[in-house]
Amino acid sequence: MFQPPSLASLPPGESLTERTYEVLRNAILRNQFPPGTALSVPRLARELDVSRTPVREAVQRLIYEGLATHESHRGAQVNVVDIEDLRQLYLVRELLEGLAARLATERLGADDLVELRRILSDHEDVLAVDGDNSAHIELDMRFHRKLRDIAANAHLTATLEPIAGRSHLALHSLWRTDDAPRLALKEHERIVDAMVTGDPELAEEAARQHVSRLRVRLAQSTPRAQGSAQIAAANGKAGGAHG
Amino acid sequence: MFQPPSLASLPPGESLTERTYEVLRNAILRNQFPPGTALSVPRLARELDVSRTPVREAVQRLIYEGLATHESHRGAQVNVVDIEDLRQLYLVRELLEGLAARLATERLGADDLVELRRILSDHEDVLAVDGDNSAHIELDMRFHRKLRDIAANAHLTATLEPIAGRSHLALHSLWRTDDAPRLALKEHERIVDAMVTGDPELAEEAARQHVSRLRVRLAQSTPRAQGSAQIAAANGKAGGAHG
DNA sequence: GACCTTCATTTTACATGCAAATCAGGGGAC
DNA sequence: GTCCCCTGATTTGCATGTAAAATGAAGGTC
């Protein structure tokens, strides 16, 4: 059910805890561990072939970051994000993405612009193939991560990263309309356009509108049984591919 | 140097890790562990009379929260916040405190108002005695924490709490002018006044201005050797009590 | 005195041991 | 069929063991 990415695939320079954390985080954000999945420390330790200590520390980090929840003596499980959560989440995210776009505009370099455009172009390619929601989410994450990088404000990054993570986690279960990815890409392009004009306020507003519209679109999405479907999918094995 | 608060003083319902975390966090925010202080896990474990595991986990939490920093194989130390850090920090904090005030205004109940006014009144009392910067910081924290509570947005709280923690950490080393506490209190009162009018936008603006002015005041403060004094105090052992 | 080198101490990063809590899954009792 | 209790397996929360890295003091050389 979960091909052990085996850790070996990761930068061996880092600590085991760090690498374990990356593996688990990616698995969650790629929906390989859907919301509701239990994160048993001994089990993961066996599967990843490390001791329990690094796994425990990685799981705690996921908890602090809000990708997992914890109940006393009952362990952790991948967070289930419901509509109300998302509403509150996007209220915060709107401000922070706006700030990121504003700061990024002030510091935008030629290289950065090239990289941003490459992401947009990759994103277009992915949407052309269509149907692949995971690839869309991946590109969406790359775009927003790049914005944070350009903004170069360590506190903003540290603050926004977990927020963005939780948002993207929710996307797997809550996206609905098929044109949402296309709308998102259009809005990304608008943000970049605003940044190119060199007007920070404009970029901020474009980014805020983007998040605000995401929120509206997600709120309108059929709330198809708030993740209970996910939990079922997680408990019953995800074997049947096209369930 | 550090009277072991011994953990026993804390809610015995919680886990050891949780209680250890609270003890360390309070010690840092009260400047009992000034910036630069090394957080040696075995040493703290001895002093607090618990095993190393809960201490290690508590320290990691402080690191994720940004109250401590970590260097590979060299352990953690209490974060040193410099002026540039603070500038970036307050840019983020301004937005989030604004949001908190806006949401709090929409949900303000009679009890909440009583509590807020009580905090303001306690704050006045403390400033009347004067000279006690720690008490001012404590009341400042209480005020902003209460605002977050009233706002009742879990994601905002989770996001703003570490930011506020780091801000308050910096206050111990970077406050300067003697009238800063009084100005802060005045601005708190303005925020509450705005909330009472029931106008969320006004409250948001008042809160943003408060943070923005804090930033300016802190930036103007004599940067008295960015915490190096603190580091010296921390390294030389504070053994001789009144060293 | 300035600069190495060595060696003991401490600490980190990870592994493992273990009591107590929780959960899964049968039987019975009704 | 439903409720309840029991039992065994698993897991959490904490404690402890330990190799390798980092630190620091002592001593030797120039």
* Residue listed under structure tokens 């943003």: B208
A vs B, Cβ pairs < 8 A, gives 71
- Average pLDDT, integer, range A31-56: 97
Give domain status of residue B24, yes or no.
yes
Residues A15 and A88 placed together within one structural domain of the fold: no
Label residue A13 by pLDDT band (50, 70, 90).
low
Label residue A239 by pLDDT band (50, 70, 90).
very low
Residues A55 and A119 placed together within one structural domain of the fold: no
Question: What's residue A222's pLDDT?
Answer: 54
pLDDT tens-place string over residues B163-216: 999 999 998 888 767 788 999 999 999 999 999 999 999 999 999 999 999 999
pLDDT tens-place string over residues B221-235: 655 444 443 433 333
Contact A169, A81 (CB under 8 A): yes
Residues A166 and A190 placed together within one structural domain of the fold: yes
Chain D bases near protein Cβ (<7 Å):
10-17, 21-23
What length does chain B have?
Answer: 243
Residues B161 and B67 placed together within one structural domain of the fold: no
Question: What's residue A168's pLDDT?
Answer: 94
Residues B87 and B73 placed together within one structural domain of the fold: no
Q: Residue closest to D20, CA→C1'? A: B73
Residue A237 scores a pLDDT above 70: no
Number of domain units in chain B: 2
Name chain A contacts of B64, Cβ cutoff 8 Å. 61, 64-65
b/e per residue, B94-103, with b = 16+ CB within 10 A?
A: bbbbbbbbbb
Residues A128 and A219 placed together within one structural domain of the fold: yes
Give domain status of residue B52, yes or no.
yes
Give the nearest partner residue to B95 out of A60, A95, A163, using CB atoms: A95
Stretch 75-94 of chain B: residues touching chain A, C-beta under 8 Å: 85, 88-89, 91-92
Q: Residue closest to C23, CA→C1'? A: A74
Share of chain A above pLDDT 90, in %: 75
Please indicate, yes or no, whether the overall pTM of this predicted structure exceeds 0.85.
Answer: yes
Give me the domain span that covers residue A72: 8-78
Residue B243 scores a pLDDT above 60: no
Contact B60 A57 (CB under 8 A): yes
Give domain status of residue B89, yes or no.
yes
Label residue B14 by pLDDT band (50, 70, 90).
confident
Give the nearest partner residue to A155 out of B99, B155, B163, using CB atoms: B163
| CATH code, domain carrying B29 | 1.10.10.10
Residues B74 and B156 placed together within one structural domain of the fold: no
Residue A178 scores a pLDDT above 70: yes
Distance, CA of A162 to CA of A160 (rounded, Å):
6
Contacts of B180-184 with CB under 8 Å at 24 or more apart are B180/B217, B181/B127, B181/B133, B181/B136, B181/B140, B182/B127, B183/B213, B183/B217, B184/B136, B184/B140, B184/B210, B184/B214
Name chain A contacts of B162, Cβ cutoff 8 Å. 158-159
Residues B27 and B132 placed together within one structural domain of the fold: no
Query: Quick one: which of B108, B135, B113 has its CA closest to B124?
Result: B135
Residues A165 and A91 placed together within one structural domain of the fold: yes
A154 close contact with B: CB closer than 8 A: yes
User: In this predicted structure, which of A4-18, A156-170, B54-68, B192-206 has the lowest mean pLDDT?
Assistant: A4-18
Give domain status of residue B171, yes or no.
yes
- Average pLDDT, integer, range A45-62: 97
| CATH code, domain carrying B120 | 1.20.120.530
Residues B108 and B33 placed together within one structural domain of the fold: no
Give domain status of residue A237, yes or no.
no
Label residue A76 by pLDDT band (50, 70, 90).
very high
Distance, CA of B101 to CA of B205 (rounded, Å):
9
Contact B37, B227 (CB under 8 A): no
Residues A109 and A217 placed together within one structural domain of the fold: yes
Give B187 to chain A, closest Cα distance, Å.
22
Contact A25, A44 (CB under 8 A): no
Give A59 to chain B, closest Cα distance, Å.
11
- Give Cα A78 to chain centroid, integer Å: 13
Tell me whether strands B38-39 and A68-71 are parallel, antiparallel or unpaired: unpaired
B15 close contact with A: CB closer than 8 A: yes
